[in-house]
Structure 1
Amino acid sequence: MTDAPHSPGDASLDDPFDGRWVLQVSGRIYGPYTGHALRDYVREGRVVAHSMLARTGQPAGEEEWMPAAQDPVLSQLFSAADTELLQVRQEMDTPSPSGGGPQGFGSKKTQTDRRDQPTSFNIVIITDVKSRSSGPLENALMSLGPAYKISANVWVVHTPSGAPEVVNLLTQHLGGSDRLFVVDATRNRTAWFNMGPETDAKIRQVWKQDK
């Protein structure tokens, strides 16, 4: 028996995170996931502020897609800095009134031209597969782009997908006891799967990012 879908404003939900969402990654739809599962994915780096999500219960093709940080429920999973970065990304994607391209923001010294943003990334992937054959995972990994296997569990890949997107794609081929760690060497970003809360906290403590 499956749970009946709830509308975004359904007052029958004791906990708003009991609702369900679907996730869109590289044109593919995953889920549905409860808000509780998405909270874990945010902590693991699999869902970020600009990840596109929609509440379930809408007719197929009529879902209201929005960035995770703008969802009325999920927005509380993100910090003010995450939300500000999302707004900057959206401003960069918004044409100016004159039609001359993205709007500028901040001082000229801190302005970022979209043309300067990377469109592909150097990725390091570390796997720990125990529950099943690694064949399907390796096939999915090879589909990301040019790849080379450095050792039994370590790959380097050049791909148009960032670390969170890579994790989302590869975890479809992992079991509950498998683990995954992904490093975006181009942008100094990381994402991981199934590391556990203690390891999660240690990674966040050790891995420093430029502000």
Structure 2
Amino acid sequence: MFDHFLIKDLDNKEEYSNLYDFATSSVYKYKFEKNEIAKFNGFRKNITEKKGYNNRFYKLPLEYFLSGGNKRFSYRIENLERIIDYIIALEALFLIDGNRYFLRRTISKRISNFLKIDNTDEIVKYMYNERSRIVHGSYITLSENKKEEKIKKLKCHMPLFEELLREIFTKIFDYTFSSREKLIKFMKELYDIPEECIKVMESAKKEAEKYFLMD
């Protein structure tokens, strides 16, 4: 579950790179002390023994979470695929009910209620907005000044956002679901858009579609 990595043993200088993807290498290196390795092994054992570890509904979200994490840790405008993968991971889990309206509100509220961590709602909404701007091309024509502003904000939000993701994929393994319906029920109990709002949106959609018939 820990994806691609390069390990270099500082004592014997051996490198283990068979799981390493040089095309998406991180610009950062981290030295693990022996006590940290022991803690990591304990963490890994704890995660893999949780009842929801092999739940089929987590497979796709986890793949995209790891895919995003495996992309190089850079805040350059041209390397924003990381955010796209992260949001896909969250949507595949927290928007599984297929509702088409108020997605940003729904996903941020569900994650906030799930984690119960301060500022979660604000962080998720910000990153969800940035994902939308990225995939719809808004970043392409940014001026240099605007790029600098975006990068500065992303540097503040990205570590916090990634910490939330790690918390989500650590906590979600405490739960297991035998059917899609049960997972949907769980998500709707975290937060659900009032039925009245959905009816208003559906009605407005039908009214708007009448104009397409005039084309």
TM-score norm. by structure 2 comes to: 0.26
TM-score norm. by structure 1 comes to: 0.26
Higher helix proportion, which one? Answer: 2
Higher strand proportion, which one? Answer: 1
Higher relative contact order (CA 8 A, sep 6+): 2
